[in-house]
Amino acid sequence: MKITAFLAEKFRLEEKHVKEIISCCPSAVVNVAKTEQELLKLLPDTDILICSNYSFSESWLAVAKKLKWIQSIAAGNEKLIPFLKSTQLMLTDSSGVHAEPISEHVIGYMLLFERQLLAAIKCQEKNEWGRGMAVGELNGKTVLIVGFGAVGRGIARLCRCFGMRVIATKRSASASEEGIEIHQPSELPELLPLADYVVLSLPATNETRRMFGAKEFSLMKYSAHFINIARGSVADEAALIEALKAGKIAGAALDVFEQEPLPKESPLWEMENVIITPHNSGMTPYYMDRMIKIFCSNLNAYMDGKPMPTLVDLKKGY
């Protein structure tokens, strides 16, 4: 079995990762292509390709005659999936790789809002004491997590540690789990008025495109905050800006945008009740360590003829 990896420098496949793969499959030959030219030489004999969602080129498919399976190092693969729909290739993603860093990122947003830390920093910059600012607590607040996959579960776990009530929507909703109230997405209009924080944690699909717009923002509390760590396409950015300007919601924390980088002329930059981060909520020094564990889990299942844990349904898009 020949496995080829082609990754950006910041996602390097280190020797320890190669050893971990070989420990799962001793007969595997693992090659790391540093350039696309090297990749094209390796692809004709490659059975499994490890690559990035963003760097993938459709032209590779014409060369990769023996390719059976692509392991994406990303969790969301909306840029890769269209190229594979007409093929027999299997695609696995790295769902779950971001759960820890994104969960902490979301809690960081919430603490910035509740404890007025952004305002405190601004006071510090002006040598002002500013002790009169109104601070709050996460304890007792309600968070609504829209999309309850691996990342949503990670966010829920940390929110519960802070004493928050956790509500979530999930397509395959059944009974509540671990003290978390699970609902169908169709119940969103009834759930939004309950939430102090609304967190989007959804894949980017045709079904989720702009699912959050003016109507949804109008159903939120005036005191509620909106957080998007999913994809920019899931929320209507113009409707969000209007809701913020009109005071229909208290604020927003955004890691993803309809256009990235966020254009300098966007009104979001100047809003004091908005926190902007550059699509880095999932970044961590342990990214590749976790991704390789996910890949090895898939590899073990593949060799045993069992369903791979993060196999992507190309029709659904996740």
- pLDDT, tens digit, for every residue of 154-193? 999 999 999 999 999 998 766 567 789 999 999 999 999 9
d(CA 215, CA 240): 10
User: What pLDDT, on a 0 to 100 scale, did the predictor assign at position 76?
Assistant: 87
d(CA 216, CA 237): 12
Which of the residues 115, 160, 279, 290 is marked catalytic?
279
**Structure token pair of residue 97:** 């790789």
d(CA 24, CA 28): 9
Can you list the alpha helix ranges (DSSP code H) found in the chain? 15-24, 36-42, 60-63, 81-84, 99-114, 117-125, 150-161, 188-191, 214-219, 237-245, 287-303
User: What pLDDT, on a 0 to 100 scale, did the predictor assign at position 49?
Assistant: 98
Active site residue 178: no
Active site residue 98: no
Q: Are strands 2-6 and 29-33 parallel, antiparallel or unpaired?
A: parallel
Which of the residues 17, 105, 153, 231 is marked catalytic?
231
Q: Is 101 exposed, middle or buried (0-12, 13-18, 19+ CB in 10 A)?
A: buried
What is the side-by-side strand order in the sheet with 2-6? 29-33, 2-6, 48-51, 69-72, 90-92
User: What pLDDT, on a 0 to 100 scale, did the predictor assign at position 174?
Assistant: 61
What are the pLDDT tens digits along the chain (318 aa)?
A: 999 999 998 899 999 999 999 999 999 999 999 999 999 999 999 999 999 988 899 999 999 999 999 999 999 888 899 999 999 999 999 999 999 999 999 999 999 999 999 999 999 999 999 999 999 999 999 999 999 999 999 999 999 999 999 999 998 766 567 789 999 999 999 999 999 999 999 998 888 999 999 999 999 999 999 999 999 999 999 999 999 999 999 999 999 999 999 999 999 999 999 999 999 999 999 999 999 999 999 999 999 999 999 999 999 888
d(CA 177, CA 93): 25
Which of the residues 14, 58, 207, 260 is marked catalytic?
260
Tell me if 148 sits within 8 A of 178, measured CB to CB: no
For residue 259, CA distances in Å to 59, 135, 208, 266 come to: 26, 33, 17, 10
CATH superfamily of 99-276: NAD(P)-binding Rossmann-like Domain (3.40.50.720)
Read off φ and ψ for residue 275, nearest 5 degrees: -110, 130
User: What pLDDT, on a 0 to 100 scale, did the predictor assign at position 246?
Assistant: 97
DSSP 3-state of 219: helix
User: What pLDDT, on a 0 to 100 scale, did the predictor assign at position 106?
Assistant: 98
| Region(s) of the chain under CATH 3.40.50.720 | 2-97+284-303, 99-276
How many Cβ atoms are within 10 Å of 229's Cβ, its own excluded? Answer: 27
pLDDT digits (tens, 9 = 90+) for 204-246: 888 899 999 999 999 999 999 999 999 999 999 999 999 999 9
Give ∠ CA 307-42-87 in degrees, rounded to 5: 45
User: What pLDDT, on a 0 to 100 scale, did the predictor assign at position 31?
Assistant: 97
Per CATH, which fold does 2-97+284-303 belong to?
Answer: Rossmann fold (3.40.50)
Cis amide leading into 189 (omega within 30):
no
d(CA 90, CA 18): 22
Q: Is 76 exposed, middle or buried (0-12, 13-18, 19+ CB in 10 A)?
A: buried
Active site residue 137: no
